[in-house]
Amino acid sequence: MADPDSPLVRQRYTVGGIVQGVGFRPHVHQLAAELDLAGYVANTAEGVVIEIEGPPDRVASFAAAVVDRAPPLAVVDSFAGQGMAPLGRAGFEIRPSVGGPAATLVSPDVATCADCLDELGDPTDRRHGYAFTNCTNCGPRYTIVTTIPYDRPNTTMASFLMCDACRAEYEDPFDRRYHAQPVCCPACGPQLDTPIEKVAAAVLAGEVVAVKGLGGYHLAVLASSEPAVTRLRARKHREDKPFAVMAADLAAAARICVIDAMAQELLRSPARPIVLLPRRPGAPVASAIAPGSRELGVMLPYTPLHHLLLAAVGEPIVLTSGNRSDEPIAYRDDDARTRLTPIADRFLTHDRPIRIRVDDSVVRAVDGAPYVLRRSRGYAPAPITVGSPTPVPVLACGAELKSTIALARGRQVFVSHHIGDLKNYEAYGSFCETIEHIGRLFEITPAIVAHDMHPDYLSTSYALELSEDRGIEAVAVQHHHGHIASCLADNGVAGPVIGVAFDGTGYGTDGTVWGGEFLVADLTDFERVGWLAPVPLPGGDAAADEPWRMAASYLDVIGEAGASPITVPHWDDVVAMVRAGVSSPLTSSVGRLFDAVAALVGVRSTVNYEGQAAIELEAVVAPDEAGTYPMAVAGSTLVGADLVAAVLADVRAGVAAPVIAARFHHGLAAGVAVMCRRVRDATGLACVALSGGVFANVVLLREVTGLLEADEFTVLRHRQVPCNDGGICLGQAVVAAARARRSG
C-alpha cells in the first residue's frame, strides 16, 4: 500500500498507435497493481487514455514500463503526458470505451498464438479442436471491425452472445482474453458447416474445396496431386500463374523448400505471409503448382481452422484465392456460392461474417531483409509513418494494376490491402468500398485527392469525379515519380535522389509510354534525366500479352526483322505496322525489353498473366555465368537494342537460354550503373532509389545494388510496401502532401 504521508502525483497519459484489441489495457491494469497505483485506463477514439496516481518514484517507474513492457502486438506511436491535481482515491479501474474523433489504429489480423494452439490441441480444454479460438494476442481484427473504438458491438462478432465462461474471461483483467473482442468458444461462437475430417477426406480424394478463411474464400487441393492441381487450373481459368502452398509447420515447409533465417522469420511472423522460397529438387508437390518457376510461394497456417485442416490432411495443400481468373477474392457467402460453385466440388464455410475482403500478403527474403511484393493480410491497415506531416488529409487513388489506395493524415499513411486490377468490374467495386471503409474506420475525410496522370485509369476517373463532386483539390502525380516518392517515403528520406524507375508502363509527361526512367526527384518534383531508348510498341497494350511483338520491334530497330528466330503468324504484318507507325506508340519500357528477350530465347512468346515473360526469364538465369552483354549509354539514353543484338547473336550461335538470360541481366545492370554515375557527375547526388515492378526481379535488384554500392552510392530499396504498382499510392500521398506544404 502507498504511504499515506508520501506526496502524491497524478499524470494523464495518452497512448497512440495500435493499442486497442492487443491487450494494452490489462497490461496497464496489471502494471498499476504491481506498483500499487490508483487511477484508470480507457479506450478512446484518440487512443488509450491513462490516469495514474501515486508516489512520484512509482509513477515514474510506471511511465517507463508502460511502453517498454507493452504487449507483443502493441505498436506505440506516441506517448504524451500532462500533470494533474491528485484526487486521493484508491484503486485502479478499466473504464468503458469512449467515442470521439478517430485517431487510434486498428491492428491487422494476427496469426494464432502459441497459447491458443496449445488449447486447440488439448483434449481436456473446452476449446479443443475449436476453429475460432483466439485471444488478445491473436485472431481476426481488420477483417471483422466495422468502426472504432474496437469493441465487440463494432465487429462482425456482435451477434454472438458470450456464454458465462467466455464472459468471465472477457471481464477478468488478469486473463489473456480480457476484452478480446472476438472471444468465443464452441458453446457461444461461430460454427463450421462441415466437419474438418470430412473436408480433409475430400481433399485427399482429389476434390477442390472452397474454404472460408479470415479475409475471404480460398480454393484448396492436395499439393502433391498433379491431376487435382491441373483440374483446379482449368476450372479457375488460371493457366500458368503460380499457386500458393500451405504447409502445416516449418518442418513440412522445409521438406519442399530451402528456408534461410529471414525466410523462417517471415514464415513464423504474426503476419503469416506467403513467402517465395527456392523449391527443393524432387519436392513432393505437383509441377503444375508453379510452372516455369524455381520457387514456391509457401505459407504456414494462420487460423485455427487452417491448423485443424492441415493436421487432418497430413501433407501440404494448395491454398489459392477463391476467385475466377483475375477477379477479387470472394468473401460474402452468397457471392462465393455463385462464383465458386463451378470451380469447387464442395464448400467449408462458417457463420462469422467477413467485413472486408483481404487477400494474402506475398513477400520474399532478399539479402537478409523482407521484400514485400503484395502488402495485404497481416500488414494492412497498419500505417506507414512518414517524415513530414500532411497539412490536410489526402486520398491517394493508386494506379490501375495491383490496385491499393492510401489515406493520409498527419504523419500516418494508411495503405490499403491489395485490391486487384481495376480493369475488372468486381475489383473496381472493391476499390470504391475500400476507400469508403478505411475513411470511415479512421474518420478521414480527404481535402486533396491524388491520382495517376494516365487519363484512362479508372482510379484517375474516380479521383477527378470526387474532386468535382466535393470541390476538393485533385493532384496529378506522374507514375514513375510516384514510384520513386514511394521508395523515399518507405525509407524515411526526403531527397533529392537519383530515382531509377523500371516497369512495364506508365503515362509520361510527354504523352508517351514510359517505363525505363532515371529521375532526379524529391517528394515534390522530378526531372527526367535519362531513359531507355524508346522503341515502337506494336499494337499498344497487345504487346504486353504477346512478347514476340516486342521482339519484332527491337529486331526491326537493329535491322534484323527479316531473319527472326521466332516463327509466329502475323510476324510480317507486325513489322509492317511498326515501320508504318500504325498503332505503335513509342515506349521506353524496361518491362517490354524483358519481353523481347524472353521471346527471342524461346522462354515465352505469349503470356497468361502480367509480367510472366520477365518472371520466367529470371527463373532460367544461370547463377554461375559471369558474362555481360555490352550496353551503350548515348547521352541521356540507355540503348536497349545493344542488348537485343547481343542476345540475337548468341541465339544464332546456339548458346543456352540460361547463359543468355544471365548475360542480359548483367548487361542491363551495368548500363544502370553507368547512367547513375553520369547523373552523379552532373548533379553531385550519390543516393539512388530503385522502384517499379521490374525490381521485383531479385537477380537484377541484387546486381544493380551491388554495382552501385561498389561505386560508393547509397541504395534505397523498398521495405514496407511493394516496388510495383501496389506501392504507388504511398508515393502519390506523400507527393500531394509535399506540394500542399510548399503552397502553404
The 3-class secondary structure across 529-560, one letter per residue, is EEEECCEECCCCCHHHHCCHHHHHHHHHHCCC
DSSP label of 322: S
CA–centroid distance for 533 within its chain: 32
Sheet holding 9-18, edge to edge: 75-84, 9-18, 47-54, 38-44, 92-94
Q: For a pLDDT cut of 90, what percent of the chain falls above it?
A: 83
Q: What is the pLDDT of residues 518-533, one digit of tens each?
A: 999 999 999 999 999 9
Q: What is the pLDDT of residues 640-661, one digit of tens each?
A: 999 999 999 999 999 999 999 9
Q: What is the pLDDT of residues 285-295, one digit of tens each?
A: 999 999 989 99
Interatomic CA distance for residues 319 and 253, integer angstroms? 14
CA angle 247, 206, 329 (to 5 degrees): 65
Q: Where are the beta strands (DSSP E) in 434-583?
A: 448-452, 473-477, 497-507, 513-521, 526-532, 535-536
102 has a pLDDT exceeding 90:
no
For 658-671, letters b (16+ CB in 10 Å) and e give: bbbbbbbbbbbbbb
CA angle 562, 565, 568 (to 5 degrees): 85
Residue 253 in contact with residue 315, Cβ under 8 Å?
no
Q: What is the pLDDT of residues 120-146, one digit of tens each?
A: 999 999 999 999 999 989 999 999 999
> Which secondary structure element, helix H or strand E, spans residue 371, and what is its range?
strand 369-374
Residue 210 in contact with residue 346, Cβ under 8 Å?
yes
pLDDT on residue 1: 40
Range 676-695 average pLDDT = 98
Q: Which residues are within 8 A (CB) of 629 and not within 5 positions of it... i.e. 6 or more apart?
A: 642, 643, 646, 647, 663, 664, 666, 667
What secondary structure, in 3-state letters, does 189-218 show? CCCECCCHHHHHHHHHCCCCEEEECCCCEE
Domains annotated on the chain, with CATH: 9-94 (3.30.70.100), 106-190 (3.90.870.30), 196-361 (3.90.870.10), 383-491+724-743 (3.30.420.360), 513-522+528-716 (3.30.420.40)
CA angle 703, 705, 708 (to 5 degrees): 105
Q: Which residues are within 8 A (CB) of 281 and not within 5 positions of it... i.e. 6 or more apart?
A: none
Q: Which residues are within 8 A (CB) of 579 and not within 5 positions of it... i.e. 6 or more apart?
A: 556
Interatomic CA distance for residues 549 and 541, integer angstroms? 11
> Is the pTM above the cut of 0.85?
yes
Q: Where are the alpha helices (DSSP H) in 186-286?
A: 196-204, 226-236, 250-254, 261-268
pLDDT on residue 550: 97
Distances (CA, A) of 720 to 153, 363, 698: 32, 10, 16
pLDDT on residue 522: 97
21 has a pLDDT exceeding 70:
no
Q: Quick one: pLDDT band at residue 468, thresholds 50, 70, 90?
A: very high
Interatomic CA distance for residues 401 and 406, integer angstroms? 15
Residue 177 in contact with residue 169, Cβ under 8 Å?
yes
